[in-house]
Structures are given as C-alpha cells and as structure tokens.
C-alpha cells in the first residue's frame, strides 16, 4: 500500500511540474524542439544540405529582416521545411530575428486570427518583413531552394512563391 501511495504521489508531482506542448498557437523553437516533435525536427534539420555560399550572401542582406513562420506540426511540408529554415537561421546567427512561430490547426486557422489576417492558405509560410512591412513570403515549399529563395527575396528579384499567380 505504501508503494502504491508513493507511486501515485510521484506521478502527481511529475504531472504537475511538466507543461505539455500545445502545437496550436504561438510557441518557441525551443518548445518545438523539446516536445514530441523533436525526432522529425532534428532528422530534417540534420538532413538539410546547407549551401554555405548562398548563406554567406544572405547574411549581408539579413540584418534588418524579421521572419514570422506559420506552420502545422501535423504537416509533412512543415516538418521538412521548418527545420531546414532553422538550420539556415543558425548559420546566420539570426534566431533573434524570428518574430513569431505560430502553429495552425489542420484547417489552417490560428488561435488569434493572425493567420487569417495574413492570408495564410498553405503551410509552412515564412513571411519576411523589414521595418514592420512584409516584403515577401515563401509558401509551402521553396521554388529553387530555401537559401536561393531567401536570397532572391532579399535582393528584390521579383520572387514569386508557388501560389503567387
């Protein structure tokens, strides 16, 4: 009986001290990585073939850029592209330039209406802003590669995402 009581007490304490990850709403990269999503995050982070030449070129344009990311942890495209994007961000040492990371439900609805306001139709969507104004976005998947698409956006080369007809 004493063992059962100790087990129940330990379970109650452990449960009270842990906060489950909720993938609907705003969360941090750290919360995402330290959740049940860590395995696909790290596998796809490590699998992204970083183009150092393009990252070096991006670096000279990236200082005033902020990025908002809309994603779905349930979405294969988000599972592939978001970790690759963070690999680029790490190479740029620009984690402080990620403005928001927002998880959407399967209907691509956000907790606060921001996804609807931003016109999010596919995930992931990476919105690049400068001085609070959107300059462009990558939607669902890159056209050439994440690095090349980011560079094209930052160099204002008329980049069009996959759904920009």
Residues 69-96 pLDDT 10s: 999 999 999 999 999 999 999 999 999 9
What pLDDT shows up at residue 11?
A: 47
pTM: 0.87
Backbone angles phi, psi at 68, to 5 degrees: -110, 130
Q: Is residue 33 part of a domain?
A: yes
Structural domain tally of the chain? 1
pLDDT score, position 3:
59
Query: Could you tell me which residues come within 8 angstroms of residue 138 by beta carbon, excluding any fewer than 6 positions away?
Result: 81, 124, 125, 126, 128, 146, 149, 150, 153, 161
Answer whether residue 36 is part of any domain.
Answer: yes
Residue 13 lies in a domain: no
pLDDT of residue 71: 98
Give the C-alpha separation, 162 to 141, whole Å. 7
Question: Is residue 50, in this structure, part of any structural domain at all?
Answer: yes
- Domain span at residue 100? 21-154
Domain annotation covers residue 6: no
Q: Examine residue 149 and state whether it is found in any structural domain, yes or no.
A: yes
136 domain residue, yes or no: yes
Distance CA 66, CA 94 (A): 9
| 3-class DSSP assignment, residue 139 | strand
Cα–Cα distance between 31 and 44 in angstroms, integer? 17
**Is residue 12 over pLDDT 50?**
no
The upper half-sphere exposure of residue 104, i.e. CA atoms within 13 Å in the direction of its Cβ, equals 24
Task: Please report, for the domain that includes residue 118, its CATH number.
Answer: 3.40.30.10
Count of Cβ atoms closer than 10 Å to residue 99 Cβ: 15
């Amino acid at each position: 009986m004493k063992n059962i009581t100790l087990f129940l007490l330990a379970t109650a304490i452990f449960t009270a001290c842990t906060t489950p990850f909720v993938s609907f709403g705003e969360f941090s990269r750290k919360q995402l990585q330290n959740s049940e999503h860590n395995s696909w995050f790290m596998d796809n982070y490590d699998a992204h073939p970083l183009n150092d030449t393009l990252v070096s070129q991006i670096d000279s344009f990236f200082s005033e850029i902020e990025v908002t990311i809309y994603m779905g942890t349930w979405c294969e495209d988000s599972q592939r592209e978001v970790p690759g994007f963070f690999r680029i961000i790490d190479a740029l040492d620009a984690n402080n330039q990620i403005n928001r990371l927002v998880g959407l439900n399967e209907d691509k609805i956000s907790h606060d209406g921001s996804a609807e306001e931003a016109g999010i139709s596919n995930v992931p969507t990476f919105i690049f802003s400068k001085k609070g104004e959107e300059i462009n976005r990558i939607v669902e998947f890159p056209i050439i590669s994440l690095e090349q698409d980011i560079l094209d956006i930052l160099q204002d080369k008329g980049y069009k995402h996959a759904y920009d007809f």
